[in-house]
Every structure is written in structure tokens, then in C-alpha cells.
Amino acid sequence: MDLSNGIEKILWTEEQILERVSELGSELTRDFKSRAITPVVVGVATGAFMFLADLVRKIQLPMTVDFIRVESYGSGTVSNGKPRISCELKVDVRGKHVILVEDIVDTGNTLSCLIDYMKSKGASSVSVCTLLDKPARRKVHFELVGEGKYYCGFKCPDYFVVGYGFDFDEQYRNLPFVGVLKPEMYEP
Ligand code: IMP
């Protein structure tokens, strides 16, 4: 049984990802070091778990870390468009600078729902750090809060990707690279 069997091609290798994550960590360190309040880094489970773990080690600042869970996909490759927060934050974000760490911004539905949620909880700013962004699929416009900034690792072509946290039907998350699944793996 070989985990890489279902992969058609690799888009970003482990080395390329780690290099970019390191750059993002430096940018975040630079941008947040002058703020009086320590940031709250919120990973969007499950997809962002690996990115979050690598990213926070590259941010040279005191911070708190939490996770939030949003459900928007069933077992297919197309979003059902109605994200729902299924596991809430533990940390109080009122008056804090939130950095949402996402695996990918696709239609923008999940992000828009999360930004509204952080606003409703009184965050003083909401920034977003996403590993991938698929601009071709954007349907929902979102606005950051306060002095929030948008950070993106790579622009992603319109493929369904797996690996480095990304799943298909809860599998492939543990691949160290981001790749494209062979169509026969998800077509009936
Ligand atoms: P959005 O709400 O459409 O922006 O979708 C965001 C969520 O969909 C992400 O956080 C991912 O979990 C999932 N997603 C979108 N595109 C892909 C993909 O290519 N592979 C795996 N998951 C994806």
C-alpha cells in the first residue's frame, strides 16, 4: 500500500513549502512585533493543522494558539456552500489581534463566516494567513477587520489538491507535499 499512489503530480514539494512558510513567519513577526497585545493565532481544523504547526515555529513572538472547526465539505470535492462552526474557540478574542490560519481560500465562504464570527466575538483586528488561494473559484467577497492583513503562501491553480493537511475524504493529509489527485481517485 503506497500513500503516493493516487497522486498525479506534485505542485509544491516539502522544501518549497517550508521555505515559503519561513518567509510568512518572518513577515508576521515583522508586522506584529510592534503591537502592544500578543496575537491569537487560530488554526482552522482540520486542514490547517500542519501549516499552523510549521508556521508558529517561525513566528518569533509571544502568542496564544487555538483551533476552530468549520464544516463545509461532505466527502466530495465541491463545497456545499454553507459553512457551520462546529467547534468553538477556547480563547477569548475580545480586544485581541486574531490571525486566522487557513489551509486554502476557495469560494471564500468559510473565511467570510469566520471573519464574521471573530467580529461578533469582539476581535480588534482579524488577519488571514492562508497557505493556498484559488482565486479562480472565489464566490464570496470578505473584508478583514481593523488593521488586519492578508498573507498567502501560493496562488493555486484550479485543481483539487491533497497533502500537507489537505484531504480527500479524510485521507492524504499526512503527505509532506501538496499534490493533485488522479481524477479516477474521486470519479465514480
Ligand atoms: P471555501 O469555503 O470554499 O473557501 O473552502 C474552504 C475549505 O474547503 C478549505 O478550508 C478546505 O478545507 C476545503 N478545500 C477547498 N479546496 C480544497 C482542495 O483543493 N483540497 C482539499 N480541500 C479543499
- Looking at residue 12, its amino acid is W
What pLDDT does 184 receive?
85
- Ligand 1 binding pocket mutation candidate from 73, 77, 168 (most atoms within 8 A of CB): 73
Residue 99 phi, psi (nearest 5) = -115, 105
Residue 37 alpha carbon to ligand 1 centre in Å: 31
**What pLDDT, in 10s, does the model give residues 1-40?**
677 888 999 999 999 999 999 999 999 999 999 998 999 9
Q: Would the CB of 104 count as within 6 Å of ligand 1?
A: yes
pLDDT digits over 114-167, tens only? 999 999 999 999 999 999 999 999 999 999 999 999 999 999 999 999 999 999
Our answer on whether the CB atom of 21 is closer than 6 Å to any ligand 1 atom is: no
Tracing cell 494567513 back to the chain, one arrives at: 129
Quick check: pTM over 0.85? Answer: yes
The pLDDT > 70 percentage for the chain reads: 94
Q: Closest ligand 1 atom, CA of 79?
A: 3
Residue 112: CB within 6 Å of ligand 1?
A: no
Does residue 160's CB lie within 6 angstroms of at least one atom of ligand 1? Answer: yes
Phi and psi torsions of 136, nearest 5°: -60, -20
Q: Is the confidence at residue 188, as pLDDT, over 70? A: no
Question: Strands 64-71 and 150-155: what pairing?
Answer: unpaired
Break the chain into its structural domains and give their ranges.
3-181
Question: Could you give the residue numbers annotated as active site?
Answer: 106
CATH class in words for 3-181? alpha beta
